[in-house]
Structure 1
C-alpha cells in the first residue's frame, strides 16, 4: 500500500516484531526457536527491536525529513519506545553503530543519573529531531509476562500527531491498553528542552515511514495527502526558526473500536478474508493520514481493496455520509457472494464484489465475529488467576494503581468526564443489530462492548 519505489521521496522500513527476532550467535534451529519463544513470552529482545529501528533512522535520516512510525500490539509499544528514545537521546549521525547500545542503555535508565547522562549525551553527540506522526493499533500495557516501562512511552512532546485505535472487547489481563497520558510537571522537567540544541533549518525532503508487526495532482497510481498553505507554512516556519520555537502540545486522538486485540490490528483471520473487523481501524488510520496532510505516499490502486474510494480522500477529504443501518433481512438480498460469519452470527449474509462504497464496507465489516481469546483458547485463563496491577492517570494527572485478579474483566476507560470518549461509529452499527450474535452458550444476544462508558461518547468517523 505504501509507495517504496523512489527512496528520494519516501523510504519505508518494516520490522517483523517481537517473537520473530533471532540473535546471530544462536546457530541451531532449536536455539533459535527457544529465543523466539522467550522473545514472545517476555520480550527479551525488546531492546534489539528498538535499536534496529533507531539504527535505520540514524543511517538514513537527512535534514528536513519527516518521520512516521506505525505499529500494532507490542510493535506499537516498540514504536512508542523508539519515539521516546529519539526524544530522550536524540538521533546520532550516521555510522555511529557502536554508540547505539550505550545510547539505549541511557534511554532505558529512568533515574536521576540516567537523565543526567542522557541529557549530556544528547547535547554532545546527537541531533534534535521531531516525530511527525505515531500511529498505533492497540498498544499493550506491557511487553510479555515481565512488564517493561520505558521513558516517554505514555507521552512524548516530540511527537506532532498521535493516533491510536483501541480495542473495546479485549479482556485478557496481560493485554491492558497502554493509553496516552498527559505529562506531569515532573515529566516536563525531564530531558533537553527545545531551543537548548541547534535545530535544522533546511526544507523538508521526504517522508520516512516505519512499520512495526498526497500533492494536489494524481500521478499514476500515487496518492499523496496535500498540505494546506496555512498549516504547512506555520509548521515550516516553526521548524525554520527553531531557536524561537515554543513547545506545542501533541495533537492526540484515541478512538475505541469493536473487537478484541487482533480484531484491531489484524491477525484474527487469514489474508484475503473479504470482511473483518480489523479493516475498520485500518481505514480510519489511512483517513487520518490524509486529514492530517502528512504527505505519506500511497498506491491508490490498493485503496479499494481496503474499502476506501480514493475520491473521498483525494484531493480533499470529504465529509462521510451517514452510516448504513443494519436492517434484518436486507443484507442477504443485497449481495451476491456468501460471507462466513463463523459462530458469532445467526445469518449468512451475502457480500458483493467488487467494492461499492466505504459505508457498505463498514456495515459488513462491523458485523463480523469478535475473536475473543478467552473463549477460543482456554489456556489464557491461567494468567487471569494471577495477581495483576494496572496504573491509571486520574483527572488531576496523578497516578493510581489497581491490584487484583482480572478474571476476564473488560478494560477501563479512564478520565471520561475530563477528556470524553471517542468511539467509532461502526460500534453503534454493531450495537443496533438485535439478536444477531451468539454468546459462549450459543444463545442469541445483542452486542454489548466489554469496556464501558458512563457518558455519551463522541462518535468518530
Structure 2
C-alpha cells in the first residue's frame, strides 16, 4: 500500500487544550487509517509531569522550553523513532511482496496447484509530511536535517539514535570552526556511524508545512568564549540543514508581519534544488517548490493558537497551507511524469494529493461554513484577515527586550544605534523585499487606520 506519514510538531507551550494551534487542529481533523498514519508531538515548554512532587521541576522545564527551546531535541528524537518504526521504502515493500510470492508458490507446489504468476505491482516509497508551529516548525526542520545528513535507522538500531544525534548536533556546535573545516573532516564522525549502522540514506521529505518558525537554541559555551566570538553572554546556534535542505520537495512557510519579540525571530528558508537522496545526481534533479508568505498578526495568530472565535488569521494560514501543499504536489507529480516520459519510462501511479482531511472537516472546522459549534458552544471561525490580533510582547517578555543583544543577531537595520550590543526594545522583524506579503496585510492596513506595520511601509504592489 502507498502510504503517507504525517508528523505534527506543535509550538512553544502548545498542547491539547482550549486554544488549539493549527498543528493540533490539522492533526485532529486528518484522516487516520492505513493510508495516512499521523503522529502528534506536543510543543517544547509543555508540562508533562505526572506527580505533584515533580510539579516545581516541570514548571522550571516549561519556562526553559518557552524561553530557549530546551527539550526540543527530545521531541525530534521522538518523531524520528516514530518514523523509523512506520516508514517503508519501495524496496522494502518489493522485498516483502516477493517473499509472499515465494511462500505462496511453495504452498501451491505442495498441493499440486499451478503457480499464479502474478505480475509485480508498482511500489512507491511512503511519503513523509512534517507540519510544525513555532519551535515545533524548527523541530520539523531539524528532523528533516538529521534525516538528510544521516538517514533513517531501522527499528532494531534505534537504541543508537541519540548518540548519532549528538554527532549531528556537533556539526554546528561551533559555526566558525565548521565553516573552515573541509566537508570530509566535518562529517567524518557522522559517516563512521553511517558505515556501522547502515541507515536508509534514500529517505526524502515530501513536504514541510511551517507556521512561523523560530529557534533561539542555546549553545552552552563558556561565557568568555561567547563574548570573544559572538559578543554575547549567551551563544545561539542552528542545527545543520535547517535553512537549506535538498532532500525536501515542498516547503511552505507562513510568517508573522507583526511579531516583535527578539527571542522569536523568524527563521527563513533558503530555496534549493531537490534530489531524492543527499547524493546529488543530475539525472535525479528536480525543482524544490518553496513559498514563504507573510500574514497579518502576531506569532500566535499565525499559528492559530488563540480563542476559536478570534482565530480568523489562523484559519487563513491553515487553508493556505493545506491548499498549497496539494497544489505543489500536483506540480511536482506533473514534473516527475514529464521527465519520466522524456526518459521513456511509464508514468507513476496516481496518488492522492496533499493531506487527507476527514469528510466535512474543511467546511466545518477550517472554513466555518456550517452552524456547528465547539465543545464550549462557540461557532467555528472562518478565514478572516481582519480578525482580532493578539500582541505577544507582554510585560514578562519585555525582560528579554532590555537585555543587550549582540549586533550580529540584529535584523532590523534602520534602528537604534549601538557599537557592540543593542537593546531590541521590541524592534519589528525584517521582511525581505523578495518575499511574498499576503494581500490581507494590505487590505487590513487600508481598512484600519491604526494598523501600520513599519516593516512593510511603502509596499503597495506585492511580488507573487
Partner of 1:256: 294
Per-residue CA deviation, residues 267-294 of structure 1 (Å, 9 max, x unaligned), is 2x32x32653222111111111221234
In 2, are the aligned partners of 1:171 and 1:450 still within 8 Å (CA)? Answer: no
Partner of 1:458: 462
Shift, 1:373, TM fit:
2.1
Partner of 1:78: 139
In 1, are the aligned partners of 2:365 and 2:380 still within 8 Å (CA)? Answer: no
Per-residue CA deviation, residues 69-91 of structure 1 (Å, 9 max, x unaligned), is 01000111101001000001111
* Residues in 2 aligned to 1:309 and 1:291: alpha-carbon distance in whole angstroms: 22
Equivalent of 1:62 in 59, 65, 88: 88
Partner of 1:6: 33
Taking a change above 3 Å as real, the CA distance of residues 402 and 255 of structure 1, as seen in their structure-2 partners, is farther
In 2, are the aligned partners of 1:88 and 1:119 still within 8 Å (CA)? Answer: no
Q: Does 1:93 align with 2:154?
A: yes
Partner of 2:216: 142
Partner of 1:159: 248
SS at match of 1:147: strand
Partner of 1:106: 167
Taking a change above 3 Å as real, the CA distance of residues 275 and 15 of structure 1, as seen in their structure-2 partners, is closer
Partner of 2:279: 194
Shift, 1:146, TM fit:
6.2
Equivalent of 1:304 in 324, 340, 363: 363
Q: Does 1:410 align with 2:428?
A: yes
Partner of 2:446: 432
Equivalent of 1:116 in 188, 208, 219: 188
Taking a change above 3 Å as real, the CA distance of residues 33 and 378 of structure 1, as seen in their structure-2 partners, is closer
SS at match of 1:77: helix
**Gaps in structure 2 of 5+ consecutive residues:** 1-25, 90-124, 172-177, 219-233, 330-352, 372-377, 412-418
- Equivalent pairs counted in the alignment come to 334
Shift, 1:382, TM fit:
2.0
**Gaps in structure 1 of 5+ consecutive residues:** 196-242, 311-335, 337-351, 356-360, 394-400, 436-444
* Residues in 2 aligned to 1:252 and 1:402: alpha-carbon distance in whole angstroms: 35
Partner of 1:281: 317
TM-score (ref. length: structure 1): 0.65
* Residues in 2 aligned to 1:115 and 1:23: alpha-carbon distance in whole angstroms: 37
Per-residue CA deviation, residues 90-141 of structure 1 (Å, 9 max, x unaligned), is 1111222211011101111124555112134335511121000001010114
Partner of 2:400: 383
Per-residue CA deviation, residues 318-345 of structure 1 (Å, 9 max, x unaligned), is xxxxxxxxxxxxxxxxxx9xxxxxxxxx
Segment of structure 1 superposing worse, 160-169 or 139-148: 139-148
* Residues in 1 aligned to 2:192 and 2:380: alpha-carbon distance in whole angstroms: 58
Taking a change above 3 Å as real, the CA distance of residues 245 and 116 of structure 1, as seen in their structure-2 partners, is farther
* Residues in 2 aligned to 1:87 and 1:116: alpha-carbon distance in whole angstroms: 15
In 2, are the aligned partners of 1:194 and 1:245 still within 8 Å (CA)? Answer: no
Equivalent of 1:448 in 437, 447, 452: 452
In 2, are the aligned partners of 1:91 and 1:127 still within 8 Å (CA)? Answer: yes
Which is greater in Rg?
Answer: 2
Q: CA RMSD in A?
A: 3.4
After superposition, where does 1:260-271 map in structure 2 within 5 Å?
A: 260-267=298-305, 269-270=306-307
Taking a change above 3 Å as real, the CA distance of residues 85 and 432 of structure 1, as seen in their structure-2 partners, is same
In 1, are the aligned partners of 2:294 and 2:436 still within 8 Å (CA)? Answer: yes
Partner of 2:338: none
Taking a change above 3 Å as real, the CA distance of residues 98 and 385 of structure 1, as seen in their structure-2 partners, is same
